[in-house]
């Protein structure tokens, strides 16, 4: 009896929370799919899988999975290079790798990835997403390359001055953006409106006005669910291509990192059981494996939907499962409504989402305490914008490793010279190649006509570069003097 009452209480909280998450997820699922260059229905399929399948699996209890804005640029590049069939293969294999990583209990190690790299990755994605959607906002074709999205903006501005069609599309997009921002501000003051997200209201209003006024604005093309899913996974021979393998690694890294960092953030928002990162990685991998089989978008845990779920009062995983059910019913009952949505309105929703990926508030505070982290963040974002996702993430990781090596490589060189007798030189700490200039500068300044006693007993670690440099210095110093260097070690 007690269990039944508890279940009833949690259902009373989970049911309205699931409706909130459904309303938040609906325009995002559609918009992310369109921005990724795939049929809109596939975004909803991924949302359904994230709710009905991943929502049931253990790991995190309250975070919600689905298509993520953080994967948009990467998916668009994969579709452009390998087609929808290739995307299915990439998502499927990435999911299998995630399952393997979780089963081998490697999920927790994703938390070791530098936060600055992840923030830089999301910032780079956000900038590319915003730049790309500006073209859609003005009814123009979006350049495929990342740098092209930025270099083409002056030409886009020129088109806006002369084209009435572009001005009309921009007006629809800007109106959508204004409605969305104002509604969200109103929700913060009026409790009764908190269940209805601004993105949904703005898209509905834009669609209604576009239809009533018969505005010549491009709308979403609806292919039908079965037709959209027809090109499922295939072309296994593509797995021998280096580009495909690099894309799979990038998908796995980005999707896993975003999901697990989202889980860590959601855990701080509620008082329920914490996330089991290994089980969560298995759950995400299972969802991506199914999405790959269905030829849909990859999924990750999404902080926007997850925080909405928590703030709406969800108590158990039932809320996220039910949100998947509402998405499925929408796809089955009224898929044609998607075709009424104007593309500039969706572009406005995605620009709003892209801005949220930028760490605008975190950077000033971080600059005052950890400027090296800001450098990693900015360089990672710029590298992604000027090259590609995989290269940008590698650059960021490389910088993070160098920074960590520099910070842990503390070396102190002390020279005691009384004027007569041996010169005492003590090297203490951890010596890596990053500290070689400091060490060699001090040693090369020593006179060659005096006895040098080199005390290495406080040197806890020396990498190969430092050991070789010290040996070469001793050899060179001994050649120019009759008093060889005396070396003191712990051996």
Task: Give the pLDDT confidence score for residue 451 in this predicted structure.
Answer: 86
In angstroms and rounded to an integer, the radius of gyration of the C-alpha atoms of the chain is 28
Looking at residue 421, what DSSP letter applies? S
pTM: 0.74
Domain boundaries, the chain: 12-358, 411-488
Q: Going by C-beta distance under 8 Å and a sequence separation of 6 or more, which residues neighbour residue 334?
A: none
Q: What's the CATH code, domain 411-488?
A: 3.30.750.24
Q: Please calculate the CA angle 387-389-391 and round it to the nearest 5 degrees.
A: 60
DSSP state of 132: H
Contact (Cβ atoms closer than 8 angstroms) between residue 388 and residue 78:
no
Residue 13 is predicted with a pLDDT of 79
CB 231 within 8 A of CB 256: no
Q: Are strands 459-462 and 486-488 parallel, antiparallel or unpaired?
A: unpaired
User: What is the pLDDT, as a whole number, of residue 5?
Assistant: 37
Per-residue pLDDT of the chain (491 residues; tens, 9 = 90+): 334 434 666 777 788 888 888 888 888 888 888 888 888 889 999 999 999 999 999 888 889 999 987 788 889 889 988 888 889 899 999 999 999 999 998 877 766 667 788 788 778 878 888 888 888 888 888 787 778 888 888 988 888 888 888 899 899 999 999 998 898 888 778 877 777 778 888 888 998 999 898 888 888 777 666 655 655 545 666 777 888 898 999 899 889 988 887 787 788 777 778 888 899 999 999 999 999 999 899 999 887 788 888 877 888 889 999 999 999 888 887 777 888 888 898 888 888 878 887 888 888 888 888 888 899 899 988 988 887 767 887 888 889 888 887 777 788 999 998 877 888 999 998 888 888 888 899 998 888 888 899 999 888 888 888 889 899 898 888 886 677 888 888 76
User: How far apart are alpha carbons 256 and 288 in whole angstroms?
Assistant: 11
pLDDT of residue 45: 92
The pLDDT, as a whole number, for residue 54 is 95
In this structure, are residues 131 and 150 in contact, taking their beta carbons and an 8 Å threshold? Answer: yes
Pairing of strands 423-431, 411-416: antiparallel
Give residue 104's pLDDT: 92
Please tell me the predicted confidence (pLDDT) of residue 3.
40
């Amino acid at each position: 009896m007690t269990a039944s009452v508890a279940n009833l209480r949690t259902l009373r909280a989970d049911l309205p929370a699931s409706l909130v998450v459904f309303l938040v997820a609906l325009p995002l699922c559609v918009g992310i799919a369109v921005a990724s260059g795939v049929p809109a229905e596939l975004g909803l399929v991924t949302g359904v899988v994230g709710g009905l399948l991943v929502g049931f699996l253990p790991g995190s209890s309250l975070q919600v999975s689905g298509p993520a804005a953080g994967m948009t640029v990467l998916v668009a590049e994969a579709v452009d290079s390998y087609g929808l069939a290739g995307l299915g293969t990439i998502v499927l294999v990435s999911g299998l790798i995630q399952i393997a990583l979780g089963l081998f209990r490697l999920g927790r190690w994703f938390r070791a990835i530098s936060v600055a790299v992840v923030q830089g990755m999301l910032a780079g994605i956000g900038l590319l997403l915003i730049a790309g959607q500006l073209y859609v906002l003005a009814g123009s074709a979006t350049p495929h390359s990342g740098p092209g999205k930025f270099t083409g903006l002056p030409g886009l501005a020129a088109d806006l001055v002369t084209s009435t069609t572009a001005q009309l599309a921009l007006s629809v997009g800007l109106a959508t953006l204004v409605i969305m921002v104002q509604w969200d501000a109103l929700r913060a003051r009026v409790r009764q409106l908190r269940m209805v997200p601004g993105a949904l209201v703005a898209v509905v209003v834009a669609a209604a006005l576009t239809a009533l006024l018969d505005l010549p604005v491009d709308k979403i093309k609806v292919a039908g669910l079965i037709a959209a899913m027809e090109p499922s996974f295939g072309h296994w021979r593509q797995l021998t291509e280096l580009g495909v393998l690099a894309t799979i690694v990038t998908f796995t890294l980005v999707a896993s990192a975003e999901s697990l960092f989202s889980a860590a953030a959601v855990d701080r928002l509620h008082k329920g059981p914490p996330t089991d990162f290994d089980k969560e990685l298995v759950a995400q991998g299972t969802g991506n494996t199914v999405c790959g089989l269905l030829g849909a978008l990859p999924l990750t845990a999404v902080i926007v939907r997850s925080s909405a779920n928590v703030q709406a009062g969800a108590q158990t995983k039932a809320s996220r499962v039910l949100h998947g059910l509402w998405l499925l019913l929408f796809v089955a009952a009224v898929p044609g409504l998607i075709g009424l949505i104007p593309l500039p309105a969706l572009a406005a929703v995605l620009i709003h989402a892209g801005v949220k990926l930028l760490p605008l508030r975190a950077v000033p505070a971080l600059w005052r305490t950890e400027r090296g982290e800001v450098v990693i963040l900015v360089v990672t974002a710029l590298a992604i914008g000027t090259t590609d996702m995989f290269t940008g993430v590698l650059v960021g990781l490389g910088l993070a490793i160098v920074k960590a090596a520099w910070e842990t490589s503390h070396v102190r060189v002390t020279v005691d010279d009384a004027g007569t007798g041996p010169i005492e030189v003590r090297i203490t700490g951890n010596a890596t190649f990053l500290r070689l200039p400091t060490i060699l500068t001090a040693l090369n300044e020593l006179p060659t006509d005096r006895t040098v006693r080199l005390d290495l007993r406080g040197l806890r670690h020396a990498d190969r570069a430092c050991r070789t440099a010290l040996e070469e210095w001793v050899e060179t110093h001994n050649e120019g003097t009759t008093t060889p260097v005396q070396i003191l070690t712990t051996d």
